[in-house]
Amino acid sequence: MSTPSPLPQTGVAGAAPAAGAQAAVVLETRKLCLSFGALKVTRDVDFQLRAGERHALIGSNGAGKSTLVNLLAGVLQPHSGDILLDGERINKLAPFQRVRRGLVRTFQITALFGEMTPLDSVALAVCQANGAGLSFVGASPAHARAVDEAAEILRTVGLLEHARDETRFMAYGHQRLLEIALALACKPRVLLLDEPAAGVPMGESRRLLQTLAELPGDLTILLIEHDMKLVFQFASRISVLAEGALLAQGTPNEIANDERVRQSYLGHSHA
């Protein structure tokens, strides 16, 4: 199986680790388990995400990918095991508390305010992230700063020309980019992307991939995705889930040549 080289990260990168050094672990799970009745959906998952890493999580339908992200984000609570952010156990933190600590996620299905413009939606998210609350409403210095910051975020994801369009009339690919913009407004250090290209037409998925590649290099990203072309172009490391357990972890080349992965997920047609 041949794999494309990862896209260059052309965003404003953070300080790179010295040659041969590994970046610090920012998000980690230890023996993480979750069951629904007799069904074990997450089984003793030991997972590490390093600072600045572009990491993809793949697996067949029902492998437990979205469940794992829901556990990381606090939507679900594990029955056993630990989740650590910067070495601190966060099992009991609510989702909004994790967001405040820099752990932000997007969803597989968009949930946007259709009648608002992207500029207003992102400015509101910026106000909330800055602790300004409803000072978004009406003219205020906080509102003006939030609008400027929102415009810059929209420029980053390539939506500035659509800043004043009604969201409900935007192309679906642009709505997925807006969801990423809203996540960026929360000032994440770790960004969990749950199938950002789901439902996006092929012609628009390239723009979405390029946007992800251009995000700041010090932003740590975990991507769940079924599109293997996108995964192998984007990720520096890949983890494979099968029946709720980690089957394999490694570089794109290692995963592409792992016989267990080829048999259980990628298939011999990728050879």
In the structure, what pLDDT confidence band is assigned to residue 185 with cuts at 50, 70 and 90? very high
- Model's pTM, two decimal places? 0.83
pLDDT band at 16 (very low <50, low <70, confident <90, very high): very low
Q: Quick check: is 34 in a domain?
A: yes
Summarised one tens digit per residue, pLDDT across range 84-101 is 999 999 999 999 999 999
Q: Is residue 148 part of a domain?
A: no
Estimate to the nearest angstrom the gap between the alpha carbon of 145 and the chain centroid.
26
CATH number of the domain that residue 84 is part of: 3.40.50.300
The per-residue b/e assignment along 30-51, b for 16 or more CB within 10 angstroms, e otherwise, is eebbbeeeeebbbbebebbbbb
Query: Region 242-266: what's the mean pLDDT?
Result: 89
**90 within a domain of the structure (yes/no):** yes
Assigned domain for 44 exists: yes
Domain extent, residue 218, equals 25-115+166-270
Instruction: For residue 139, tell me if it sits in a domain.
Output: no
Residue 155, domain member (yes or no): no
Q: Is residue 73 part of a domain?
A: yes
Tally of domains in the chain: 1
Question: Does pLDDT of 196 surpass 80?
Answer: yes
- Chain segment 131-145, per-residue pLDDT in tens: 766 555 556 677 788
Rounded alpha-carbon distances, angstroms, from residue 264 to 45, 62, 110, 250, 258: 18, 13, 30, 16, 10
